[in-house]
A and B are shown apart, each in its own frame.
Chain A
Amino acid sequence: MAKSDKTQNPAKGDVQEPGRRDFFVVATYAMAGLGAAAVAWPLIDQLNPAADTLALANIEVDVSKIAVGQSITVKWRGKPVFIRHRTADEIARANATDITGLRDPQDDVARAEKPEYLVLVGVCTHLGCVPLGQKTGEVRGDYDGWFCPCHGSHYDTSGRIRKGPAPTNLEVPPHNYLSDSVIRIG
């Protein structure tokens, strides 16, 4: 287009100013590009969680029946959530750990609102396997918390990553106590 401009206006000489026509071409492409992006967005965003999936996003759990030292697994957003009623020893060890050397340093108090009940998303932060250590008799790893068999990640009694490929601690899901014994997760 720019070329035809030039041939039609020989009077302008050799210097090629960006003509009006060039401006129209660029503007047209820009508008078409915006239009294409606007159409593409719904097609991509429909892949994200739908409203009903989001609506199912919280559950309530009664923790009073979990004996000391026991754990239960509940399902939240399609994933396992671990709730462990920790023993005094487990709590003490979680607190005694010097966090400065940890991969993902975090105090135990920041992870458990009530130290007796530790609530964790039971999904290894490496590639998403469910770690072992919930049932009695299962391997709990070198730090007596949980052990992921997929690629060998060890978590401690606070669910913090201590050894293996996982980059971060087991996630603590958003939760709050509705009463002394009922927790709402999500």
Chain B
Amino acid sequence: MSAEKFQNPVVRWIDHRLPVFSMLDHEKYDYPVPKNLNYMWNFGVLAGMALAIMIVTGIVLAMSYTAHVDYAFESVERIMRDVNHGWLIRYIHMNTASFFFIVVYIHILRGLYYGSYKAPRELLWILGVVIFLLMMATAFMGYVLPWGQMSFWGATVITNLFSAIPIVGDSIVTLLWGGFSVDNATLNRFFSLHYLLPFVISGVVVLHIVALHRFGSNNPIGIDASGPQDTISFHPYYTIKDMVGIAVFLLLLAMTVFFFPNAMGHPDNYIPANALQTPAHIVPEWYFLPFYAILRAVPDKLGGVLLMFGAIAVLFILPWLDKSPVRSARFRPLFRIFFWLFLIDAILLGYLGGKPAEGIYVTLSRIATAWYFLHFLVILPLLSMFETTKPLPKSISEPVLGSSGRSA
């Protein structure tokens, strides 16, 4: 990398010894991006932004938060009432957690629809699923920190999942708790890990991006760029497009923070934790509901736990379940129908996870759970064998510029 391209002598001096400016420049101008990306490609940047907001607000919250069973609830109330702008910072942290999941779910669905998990992007996809798992662990432990009734009972139910493991289950649960129930030791270690994991996530995000830049972004057509006429530079074209998405994201986030800050939370978490009384109806945070529905759909304890974790595990092997060489759903008429059915199924599971486990809800949960696994384990493999796909365009430019596609 030649440092001569920089005008500023200080920049040039630094870049010669530590080529950070060259690296940034390289990402901004030299990195070719398909020219046909739509707004679905905004959500990666939005997820990164949500992570940054979580880390900044979290570090500030930690300055006034006390991780002790006797003080945690009150320290959060103090943040809400007495600490300058504490209410704002906490509401941003709380609601950005929800927005983070909305953004990541759309990001994942984008990948499912356009086949972004297929070769050569399998590891990129798997790193994404790792980030998703880490996010779930982080959010779960964060929700325990305010030490309300939902914090306590959510922690109790979720840690008890591990007691389903034969033989060593109970010892594992005792190890997780550091005692004989969810208690001070549990709260302390959850705080420690809640502080740590977002930085682990940041590390995996870096790997995710390294893997992305190996082959570049997929695109709505799902075919590889055939040359420079199919790509444009990231800056200024996609930085501008991302700004539009960021503006909308921040607008919606601000609206929620200022006008509906508790809409996505549960009122019971404003009742201090009580180890002797379980709330009448316990539910996890909304973003866990589909998985919670799968857990409860199975009448057997171990079976329920295995299926719940299995629902995420199938995502890891997805690149090998869907072997169709055509990536984008645009050219896969049947796959497209099943994609939308899957989305409906996932939303239905989310709805059922929030309902009491009785009567018709249980039956529906079982059907929806069965469909979830059928989709991945049976339908996708069969489709990739028998589906007749539509003809692919010759290049990214062709559908827009006519058959030559070269005039670009």
Docked complex: A39-63 residues within 8 A CB-CB of B: 44, 47-50, 53, 57
User: Are B180's CB and A150's CB within 8 A?
Assistant: no
User: Are B278's CB and A127's CB within 8 A?
Assistant: no
User: Are A53's CB and B157's CB within 8 A?
Assistant: no
> Which A residues are in CB contact (< 8 Å) with B178?
47-50, 53
Tell me the minimal C-beta distance from B159 to chain A in angstroms. 8
User: Are A79's CB and B180's CB within 8 A?
Assistant: yes
User: Are A77's CB and B301's CB within 8 A?
Assistant: no
Tell me the minimal C-beta distance from A69 to chain B in angstroms. 21
Residue among A44, A123, A150, A167 with max Cβ neighbours from chain B (10 Å): A150
Contacts A49-B185, A127-B160, A128-B156: A152 and B358 contacting too (C-beta < 8 A)?
Answer: yes
Contacts A47-B189, A75-B276, A129-B278: A165 and B156 contacting too (C-beta < 8 A)?
Answer: no
User: Are B282's CB and A73's CB within 8 A?
Assistant: no
User: Are A150's CB and B157's CB within 8 A?
Assistant: yes
Tell me the minimal C-beta distance from A46 to chain B in angstroms. 8
The reply to whether the CB of A137 lies closer than 8 angstroms to some CB of chain B is no
Docked complex: A122-165 residues within 8 A CB-CB of B: 122-123, 126-130, 149-152, 165
Contact partner, B185, options A53, A75, A130, A149, Cβ 8 Å: A53
CA distance A57 to B180 in the complex (A): 9
CA distance A122 to B181 in the complex (A): 12
User: Are B357's CB and A151's CB within 8 A?
Assistant: yes
CA distance A150 to B150 in the complex (A): 13
Contacts A47-B175, A151-B357, A152-B358: A126 and B275 contacting too (C-beta < 8 A)?
Answer: no
User: Are A78's CB and B156's CB within 8 A?
Assistant: no
Scoring B residues 282 to 300 as 1 if CB is less than 8 Å from chain A, else 0, what string do you get?
1000000000000010011
CA distance A123 to B304 in the complex (A): 19
CA distance A47 to B175 in the complex (A): 5
Instruction: Determine the interface band of chain B, counting residues with CB < 8 A from chain A.
Output: 20 to 34
Contact partner, A149, options B181, B276, B280, Cβ 8 Å: B280
User: Are B175's CB and A127's CB within 8 A?
Assistant: no
CA distance A50 to B177 in the complex (A): 11
User: Are B174's CB and A152's CB within 8 A?
Assistant: no
> Which A residues are in CB contact (< 8 Å) with B281?
149
Nearest A residue (CB) for B176: A47
Scoring B residues 325 to 367 as 1 if CB is less than 8 Å from chain A, else 0, what string do you get?
0000000000000000000000000000000011000000000
The reply to whether the CB of B277 lies closer than 8 angstroms to some CB of chain A is yes
Nearest B residue (CB) for A74: B276
> Which A residues are in CB contact (< 8 Å) with B304?
165
Contact partner, B275, options A78, A151, A152, Cβ 8 Å: A78
> Which B residues are in CB contact (< 8 Å) with A49?
174, 177-180, 185
Tell me the minimal C-beta distance from B156 to chain A in angstroms. 5
> Which B residues are in CB contact (< 8 Å) with A75?
275-276
The reply to whether the CB of B183 lies closer than 8 angstroms to some CB of chain A is yes
A-B interface, 7 closest residue pairs, ranked by CB to CB distance from nearest: A78-B181, A77-B180, A128-B160, A129-B278, A127-B160, A127-B157, A128-B156
Q: Which residues of B contact A (CB under 8 A)?
A: 153, 156-157, 159-161, 163, 174-183, 185, 189, 275-278, 280-282, 296, 299-301, 304, 357-358
